[in-house]
Structure 1
Amino acid sequence: MAEKTVAMPEVQEERTVQPEGTRTRERYVAPPVDIYEVAEGLVVTADIPGVTQDQLEVRVDNHVLTIHGHVLESPVADPAYREYELVSYFRQFELSDKVDSDQITADLKHGVLTLTLPKAAEAKPRKIAVSVG
């Protein structure tokens, strides 16, 4: 029941006569994840510090699980010197048919997103009763 990461699409820039300087380009990093296979399915944990529940989007579309966390920076003042920059998180995984995408649950606690991906009913092992004839 191995899942695989979907490669991030390369952004193609359109060439214009004058570049627009009013918006900054948003950057993304792929959050580090751990994937565990348990009897009931898969458990995915992703580190997304700085993301709150209202800044997080987790969705499944065409067997692709998408994690998108937007970090809002609220500086106290303009920094005189900066060594790091807060960036948003983006990661996608292609799911197999063995995952019941309607039953996926998500929990966000202390910057760690935990997703539970249960196995589909037809993928779960079942015991077959043997009758004596």
Structure 2
Amino acid sequence: MAGNVMVNNAPSPARGEETRSYRHVVAPAVDIVEYEEGLMLVADLPGAGKESLEVSVDQGVLTIAAEAPEAMPGRTLFTEFELARYRRQFRISDELDHAKARADFVNGVLTLRIPVAEAAKPRKIEVKVS
């Protein structure tokens, strides 16, 4: 499984371009970790709410999209991140079981775990002696 699970910057699926809007679209910071049982992706989506979060897989392309309000309540004194529409896409391997993916969203951080499909897991073949 090593090396062929993900390739960054996947092309948009055939649904058409969704990034045209009056608001700027930001690619969120993402960490991707591959381990024996599957893949873990952690994405920072500051200010986004669960109700605006969309995670989908279509034609082998994983899409993460969310929207944060244009401004936080109160008076901004200092900021290091941009509140915006977030969108990021990755091409993912067929060796992953998309149907068993699990996503958690806590305090603006999305953690997505996608296990390796059973058919792609290595297995031992018993040799019988006759």
For normalisation by structure 2, the TM-score amounts to 0.77
Deviations, residues 48-80 of structure 1 (Å, cap 9, x unaligned): 111121110001111110000111235557x79
Shift of residue 39 of structure 1?
1.3
- Does 2:126 match 1:129? yes
How big is each residue's C-alpha offset from its partner over 1:2-32, in whole Å with a ceiling of 9 and x where there is no partner? Answer: 31123566x7xxxxxxxxxxxx711111111
- Residue matched to 2:7: 4
Measured in 2, the distance between the counterparts of 1:80 and 1:71 equals 15
Deviation at 1:130, TM superposition (A): 2.4
Q: How does 1:12-91 map to 2 (within 5 A)?
A: 25-73=22-70, 76=73, 85-91=82-88
**Structure 2 letter corresponding to 1:33:** V
1:4/1:80 Cα in 2 relative to 1: closer, same or farther (>3 Å)?
A: closer
Q: C-alpha separation between the residues in 2 aligned to 1:108 and 1:80? A: 25
TM, length-normalised to structure 1:
0.75
CA RMSD of aligned residues (A): 2.7
Residues in 2 aligned to 1:85 and 1:4: alpha-carbon distance in whole angstroms:
25
Say which one has the larger Rg. 1
Point out where structure 1 has 5 or more consecutive residues left out of the alignment: 12-23
Task: Give, as a single letter, the amino acid of the residue that structure 1 aligns with 2:57.
Answer: V
Structure 2: 5+ residue stretches without partners: none
The alignment covers a number of residue pairs equal to 119
Find the aligned partners of 2:110 and 2:99 in 1 and give their Cα distance: 18
Q: Report what 1:114 is aligned to.
A: 111
